[in-house]
Structure 1
Amino acid sequence: MENIETLARVYFLAKKYVIQKGFSNEIDWQDQVSISNLNAQSFLKEYSWVVLASGLSDKVVSKVFPKIKTILKGWSSLEYIACNYDFIENHLLKVFNNKLKIKAILDTSLIIYSVGFEDTRTQIQKNGLMFLKTFKFIGDTTCYHLAKNIGLDFAKPDRHLLRISNKIGYDSPHVLCKLISDYISEKIQVVDLVLWRYATLDSNYEKKLGELMPFPNHTP
């Protein structure tokens, strides 16, 4: 109990820091995301973000994503994408020159247009990560990123979360985030986002967390 109380206290310190740095909107967004409210537009937006972010930093993707959304008209008309595939692809490649990723985004838009989103959502709810991995560029790690961004109860094993969980002696980011989530009654995805954002804001996060969490398995 002493360990989880310390863990919760440090989490709230990290959350306070993230909010003070101006990222409360991210926390609010993650808290409100729900698979039951997901539609084709929001799914394709999150899918596209995860595809573009694979192997790249959040900052890099943030610079190009608004332009990509504009070219795709915010995925408001999948018929428009289907009817103008080549034109849109050429336009997108001028903004983000990775043909495989751009093609993945367009092809997935066509799949949703073809089968309808209700069937897609049903498959997500029924088969979770396994179904998400049927989409291009969604693999064993990126499936967690997409899952949490569309409202499923997962933490993503990115490098920051892996370092944090390893530093304080937990087997995985999901185990760590679920432990905090259960104790403080916040979504796993929110806990994940707070710890991840804190890590992106403070380059000394490993050292500071190690000092604040005197657990048996942590190494200063």
Structure 2
Amino acid sequence: MTLEEYLGYRQRVGELDPDAMKKVETKSPPIDATDFALRVSYVILNSGMRWTVAQDIWSRMKSSLIELGEVGDTFGHPGKKKSINQVMSNRTEYFEGFRSAWQNGPEEVIAFCETLPHIGGITKYHLAKNLGVDVAKPDVWLERVAARSGETVHDLCGRLSRQSGHSVSTVDYVIWKACQQGWWGL
């Protein structure tokens, strides 16, 4: 992908959803254990699921997590439900682990993310982004775009970040959204 292609997608994404662009550009680390646990829970819920479906479930689940500290009957996937409940129950301990990793840099945060329940080798990047690390998630769509450019996802997003002055996370989001909208020819 060229810089010009990326910038064209960036403009279209900004016009489509300016609020989302502001959120992706201003990710900061969680402020407390509950904020941390909610971010982890969202990524667990969202993994392997269409974004639109996850948003609907999340709108029901979030209040239960805040009020009860567990999923309750808002969601039925047994593995994800168990993992989310575990994160909520142990949020203080996990948050302390995150804070320790944060002090040691982005690579430590990414490695820490993979130690959490239901977070795997790709999802750890999604979670790290949601926790404030400026990194790309090498999902299927970004892998295809990068392969066509003859690069890895991290190389592609890093190059476009340097060329555009946008964060790696922003570049990642713009490319993902362009694919999700069907603008990029897969």
The two structures have a TM-score, normalised by structure 2, of 0.89
1:1-220 matched pairs, under 5 angstroms = 7-21=2-16, 23-35=17-29, 38-73=31-66, 80-81=68-69, 88-89=70-71, 91-92=72-73, 95-113=74-92, 115=93, 117-126=95-104, 127-170=108-151, 172-202=152-182, 204-206=183-185
Residues 42, 7 of structure 1: alpha-carbon distance in 2 compared, 3 angstrom cutoff:
farther
- Is the Cα–Cα contact under 8 Å of residues 125 and 135 in structure 2 kept in the other structure? yes
Q: CA deviation at 1:42?
A: 2.9
Give 1:85's aligned residue.
none
Residues 163, 116 of structure 1: alpha-carbon distance in 2 compared, 3 angstrom cutoff:
closer
- Is the Cα–Cα contact under 8 Å of residues 83 and 117 in structure 2 kept in the other structure? yes
Q: Deviations over 1:160-199 (max 9, x none)?
A: 11111112221x2111001111122211001101111111
Q: Deviations over 1:76-111 (max 9, x none)?
A: x7xx52xxxxxx44x33xx32111111111111222
2: distance between equivalents of 1:138 and 1:123? 16
2: distance between equivalents of 1:136 and 1:119? 14
Rg: which structure is higher? Answer: 1
Task: Tell me which amino acid in the other structure corresponds to 2:63.
Answer: T
Q: CA deviation at 1:120?
A: 2.8
Residues 51, 116 of structure 1: alpha-carbon distance in 2 compared, 3 angstrom cutoff:
closer
Give 1:3's aligned residue.
none
The runs of 5 or more residues in structure 2 that have no matched partner are: none
Q: Deviations over 1:125-164 (max 9, x none)?
A: 4222211111011111100111111111210011111111
2: distance between equivalents of 1:138 and 1:132? 7
Quote the sequence identity (%): 27
Q: CA RMSD in A?
A: 2.0
- For these two proteins, the number of residue pairs brought into alignment is 183
2: distance between equivalents of 1:182 and 1:72? 39
Q: CA deviation at 1:117?
A: 3.1
